[in-house]
Structure 1
């Protein structure tokens, strides 16, 4: 649910989150919102009924728990600090048991009420006296159902009246009491045409709907299980001393040990290198080798042999501040803020209940004026109360949004703002950043030109030795290429017996000078620097015009030019297929980068974009300006600090898996798996989710509008009104359940990424590891 008191007030991502206890339905959420919105200093108040999360934006002094809790308590609810996800799941499980017990009582005793009423309706009893006795029996069986099973409805109705926001539960309570009062009045007059069955059916069917709805809410909260980490004890090292502490008590700066095969419990910096399986957080199927000093996130698994030494990590984020914790909190914070469809549903539900009450009040005297008897007029007024319950309207959007968020997380997409589904479903223009988004961020050799007569394998072996200790961004690509054997004897084997590097001198921004143990010297660097070292221009065959887009590394020795290596940042494996799918779907796709024209044009060609769709050498401001020129709404995918402006300007911003902290904070969604195929899945899922939202909202709104008009114009039995109202709520819930319980490939129109079904295990002794 969402109420905006001041739409011009800026959204505050640091606004506090609380948990609301005691809610029974969406009317409770609206009642609490109304009360919080009237607190001085509160700019915005929002209650998300499916997760019982309260988001309040305003002056810090006005949004404190000590200020808001008494306001909520006066209505009969309780406000607390945001509960952990596992506590929310336990609370919903308890609610399910609570509902099940009341439903059993209502179903078992209500069955006898329904049976007695059926015998009366079909005329199966021999005389009027027995009919009257059976009618009294029907009323007796209905009392426990009304007094026990229906109690939560009366409590919620009273609370919403206190908040001056009467909702569905007021209508339900009046409908039940009205049916009981009319029935008792008829019995006292000696008539057996009672409506105890109406009261019973109203309570039982609504309890069924509430139970199914609670199960859907539990299913939605399971989305957070993917971000939940075990809370086992960890080993903390203090010099030579090792101590075991609960993970929640470990402080920043502590050095912890992670045994082989176990998950890293806290974010930190590696003290010792090791192989990490990042599948839990990123979906990568192959472990990565991380060096000492590199950052590691909680949830990664130490993929080493069981007899290997423990991994040591210096803690940089404690429990509650880890990356997965912040991601989970961002999702819960965003779920309390709703989009336009949800606000529309709220507005419709907020005026529907008062209108229904007014119609019910007017129906009785109007029926009497039209010549109806008191009994008929009262029954028609009762039908108005029953049929107008707006529970389907209140559930139409929030349940669909929660189900869509759950599906997105299962498909490797974490949504900070589920309301973005509404914008994503209407996106027309999509723009991608280049480096780190459409590319891997690691250069590889795409072409090598070698001096005639040189042995390639020997050159690769010497190059391996020359660059193995370099920290230059191109070094990893050169090392990777140097380790690729084109002969039966691998370069790795050669460089073990070949002369090692004796001396290496770095020239920042220019290159490096390498002296081998056999006395041979190499120079590696830019063409201009190599020419300066040689004192002569490079030969014509040292330059290849077809690879002008690539970064060049020129190698020379005492005899002159030796080789030119062309390195380019390779596109991610799924970029071409994903962009082709987006273009086939009718999206306008563009590549906007701050890089040079050559690399941008080459990448666009590799991923299937036209030259006119590739924009190079654009500043952050220019990127945002180009984004505005695309058909709106727009989606922008970027990973760097220079992309934050575009992420904010876009209708929806998405950060890829390896995005910077600034980009992740500025994006509405984050990809948890490598590549960009998640964009295709996200857009397909958004269309499906919005379709469910619209279906729910249109159907529930049409039902309530038409049903109210129908019952005011003609006589509709209260039991029929009960069945129609329950069918409306159940149809909304079950329609949403199709989305919540769908398999990932069923909920998306695009296939899942091809991930290995079996995780790669760390190499055993004697096996070579891939280069990091």
Structure 2
């Protein structure tokens, strides 16, 4: 099958009990004809399968998964995943309470035997039977999920932790019953109970970690179920799901925008902190794009819907994150391979230990106990958790700091980045121009000129005219004047006739020359200008430029200090690129102007690898695909968002530094987890083979190794230092549009 004939499909898998279950599902699906790859992300229960389109139908895949006892369905909605993890937590808590309630009597009975507190051998035997009686509910009902998962993974040919747990538990119970039948009180019911109880504790901690990560993703946006919609010339209460593109919604003061849209007739003051973390409110003008998740700080606003429920930008980001989480990085694949062969090796070593100990002349019960210890210490639960938990913790921390890492493999690439390149407009700048200065050429006051400019620019879609209009409104000079007629001349200029007969022109210098308006000569400064004329006489010149986003220069300086090779690559004119580069601290040799999309790709390929590129437009798609890691800034074009493995939810590029630092920490924790789990299994197996280890000690050591991996992953929630979380959230009130 050729690569071009492949497609991908995303599903959720219900009934997963551990990471070994995920490996079993992968192995089962990989046996199906037409399936090229199958990857299950256990923390989110997400399956990403790739292959021939006809092979990826849900009924076919669901039937294969059902044979193992799992259920396949469409990707879960956030609320469904929340309900599932909540049910899993309650399920685990109930079984853990039962294990503790019955297990403590089993442990007490065993302790009385171990310390010799019973006055006679007969009472010791009775106490051993009591220990077994209290252990029965634990090793039967409470341990049932371990038996079920062990059987399923064994059927799939990928026995893992639960297969070893089930085998170890049943072996401990079997040896104990055999000893009881022989009249010996030296039973090991306490080992079986402790194994199940401590594994349940580890599983519950792991589930709570997954729950926390899901809640962080959900917190991006929780739209209301009911909204005010303009229907039949009146505002009516409607279901959010029934709202279509093009309809108008009303959002009261203090409420959150439920959908993406375009602001209608009046300006609005929006709080973007729930969405992007911006500390300063942003003032938006009619025609500006507004995004779901923003909070209305001003009077009631009306906007026109541009994306229905489930298709807003945040919905797409959430969906893309689930898609990419199902992919596996190199470290995860390494951990999977390690866990896959560890279980068969452990069983083989346990049988070898049993045979060797028995042939050496040891009693049969001693041989079985040695084999039991080998089985218990070899449980690869720490290996299975090493990478997914670290990746989930890193992704959660990144999300809380305004960075979405869609591909877990990007963590590994980000941590090794040697060069970083940036687009100019929309990446280092706000994307829309701003008036930097106004030069009057008439005997009119500044307020009078701004009032005329506001009238001339009102209603224009040209970004320069919009900037002039916004500048006049911010100065308070936007009083309504009656307009008789207005005309937009392409993207060259605008002609307006006032009710009092005066004619206004607003446009470029070249267009003014065509209209016969006298203008003075001006050099190429790299900045744009807009001219205003009244009745054929030049009145004012507005100098416009792009505002550098706050924190850009500081972020670039920090990346330079960390040894990055930097570059500014833009399709804009050289004077503009050089001017911006100087303002953000870039050297002239690091500024590349007039570059086509293909030229951007070639430059990135020639930079030290791995490389990173930050771009927001269609002309950046090639660069995003060429770079080792593509980053889409806030407000990026949809195509740029699709091509990037990292998306920023905060203004500016400070999120690049945040993502890099978190990636380094996450990769370091992943490697530490893998090393901890690998060393544990190596040392524990060596000790269990070399010397007798009480099964109870083996249980404690195995659980401690799993909890050490969980605790090490939890360290990602701590700030390494102030620089690790530095994000400049300050933004001017009116900078471009809301993405």
TM-score normalised according to structure 1 size = 0.88
Q: Structure 1 residues 110, 335: closer, same or farther in 2, change over 3 A? A: same
Structure 2 counterpart SS, 1:442: coil
Per the alignment, do residues 260 and 454 of structure 1 end up closer, same or farther by CA in structure 2, a change over 3 Å counting? closer
State the shift of 1:321 in Å.
2.3
Residue 370 of structure 1 aligns with which residue? 360
The 3 A distance-change label for structure 1 pair 84 and 462 is closer
1:603 aligned onto 2:580:
yes
* Equivalent position of 2:334 in the other structure: 344
1:509-528 CA-to-partner distances (Å, cap 9, x unmatched) read: 55456777888777654445
1:222-621 matched pairs, under 5 angstroms: 222-240=215-233, 244-275=237-268, 277=270, 279=272, 280-288=274-282, 290=284, 294-305=288-299, 308=300, 311-313=302-304, 315-451=305-441, 458-482=448-472, 492=477, 507-508=489-490, 510-511=492-493, 525-530=507-512, 538=520, 543=522, 548-554=525-531, 564-621=541-598
Distance 1:514 1:148 in 2: 82
| 8 Å CA contact retained: 1:18, 1:53 | yes
Question: Matched residues in 2 for 1:753 and 1:18: separation?
Answer: 38
Partner of 1:189: 182
Aligned length: 736
CA distance in structure 1 between the partners assigned to 2:44 and 2:293 by the alignment: 24
Match of 2:613 among 627, 632, 636: 636
Does the 8 Å contact 1:274/1:302 carry over to 2? Answer: no
Query: Deviation string for 1:51-91 (max 9, x for gaps)?
Result: 11122122222211111111111111111222221121111
User: Could you tell me which residue of structure 1 aligns to residue 22 of structure 2?
Assistant: 29
State the secondary structure of the residue aligned to 2:609: coil
In the alignment, does 2:650 pair up with 1:673?
A: yes
The corresponding residue for 1:765 is: none
8 Å CA contact 1:700–1:728 kept in 2: the answer is: yes
SS, match of residue 559 in structure 2: helix
Deviates more, 1:730-739 or 1:395-404: 730-739
Q: Over residues 233-277 of structure 1, what are the superposed CA-to-partner deviations in whole Å (9 max), with x where a residue is unaligned?
A: 234444336654422233445444444443333334455444152
Measured at CA, do residues 771 and 296 of structure 1 come closer, stay the same or move farther in structure 2, by a change above 3 Å? closer
**Stretch moving more, 707-716 or 653-662:** 707-716
| SS of 1:317 mapped into structure 2 | coil
Counterpart for residue 49 of structure 2: 56
1:166 to 151, 154, 159: 159
In 2: Cα distance, 1:249 partner to 1:558 partner:
51
Q: Write the distance in 2 (CA, Å) between the matches of 1:229 and 1:170.
A: 40
CA distance 1:39–1:717, shift in 2 (3 Å): same
Matched, 1:657 2:634: yes
1:117 aligned to which of 110, 120, 136: 110
RMSD: 3.2
Q: Distance in 2 between matches of 1:348 and 1:319?
A: 43
Contact 2:216–2:399 (CA under 8 A) maintained in structure 1: yes
Change (3 A) 1:462 1:130: same
Q: What do the CA deviations read for 1:705-724 (whole angstroms, capped 9, x no partner)? A: 22112211221111111111
More deviation, 255-264/709-718: 255-264
Aligned to 2:85: 92
Listed one character per residue, the Cα deviations across residues 319-365 of structure 1 (whole Å, up to 9, x for unaligned) are 32232222211111111111111111101000100111111111111
Q: Structure 2: where are the runs of 5+ without partners?
A: none
* 1:27, distance to aligned residue in structure 2 (A): 0.9
Matched, 1:39 2:32: yes
Distance 1:520 1:108, change over 3 A: closer
Of 751, 760, 772, 2:726 maps to 751
Inter-CA distance 326–193: structure 2 relative to 1 (3 Å threshold) = same
2:689 aligned to 701, 712, 728, which one?
Answer: 712
Between the aligned partners of 2:203 and 2:342, the Cα distance in structure 1 is 20
Structure 2 distance, partners of 1:421, 1:366, is 46
Matching residue of 1:146: 139
Q: How far apart in 2 are the matches of 1:263 and 1:535? A: 48
Match for 1:130 among 123, 129, 135? 123
Q: 1:480 to 1:328 in 2, by over 3 A?
A: closer
What are the superposed Cα offsets for residues 378-397 of structure 1, whole Å, 9 maximum, x if unpaired? 21111110100000000011
Q: CA–CA distance in 2 between the matches of 1:771 and 1:208?
A: 51
Give the direction of change, closer, same or farther, for the CA distance of 1:317–1:447 in structure 2 (3 Å limit). closer
Q: CA deviation at 1:686?
A: 1.2
**Is 2:280–2:730's contact at 8 Å kept on the other side of the alignment?**
no
Partner of 1:488: none
- Taking the aligned partners of 1:240 and 1:469, their CA distance within structure 2 comes to 24
What is the CA deviation profile of residues 84-119 of structure 1, one whole-angstrom value per residue up to 9, with x for unaligned ones? 211211111111111112111211221222222223
Question: Does structure 1 conserve the Cα–Cα contact (< 8 Å) formed by 2:271 and 2:297?
Answer: no
- Quick check: 2:277–2:729 contact (8 Å CA) kept in 1? no
The Cα of 1:122 is off from its aligned counterpart by: 2.9
Confirm or deny: 8 A CA contact 2:571 2:596 kept in the other structure: yes
Residue by residue over 1:583-623, the C-alpha shift from the partner in whole angstroms, topping out at 9 and shown as x without a partner, is 12222221100000001001011111111111100000000
Shift of 1:700: 0.4
Q: Please give the alpha-carbon distance, in whole angstroms, between the structure 2 residues aligned to 1:536 and 1:103.
A: 86
Separation in 2, partners of 1:141, 1:401: 40
- Judged with a 3 Å threshold, the aligned counterparts in structure 2 of structure 1 residues 253 and 590 are, in CA distance, closer, same or farther, namely same
1:19 aligned counterpart, secondary structure: strand
Decide which of 660, 663, 666 is 1:686's aligned counterpart: 663
Does 444-453 or 650-659 show the bigger shift? 444-453
Q: Return the alpha-carbon distance in structure 2 between the equivalents of residues 222 and 11 of structure 1.
A: 37
CA contact (8 A) 2:261 2:303 kept: no
Question: Does the CA contact (< 8 Å) of 2:618 and 2:640 recur in 1?
Answer: yes
Which range moved further: 747-756 or 616-625?
A: 747-756
1:715 partner SS: coil
Q: Is the 8 A contact 1:267 1:298 kept in 2?
A: yes
Q: TM-score, normalised by structure 2?
A: 0.91
Q: 1:439 to 1:35 in 2, by over 3 A?
A: same
* Cα gap change, 1:20 to 1:574, in 2 (>3 Å): same
Is the Cα contact below 8 Å between 2:532 and 2:541 reproduced in 1? yes
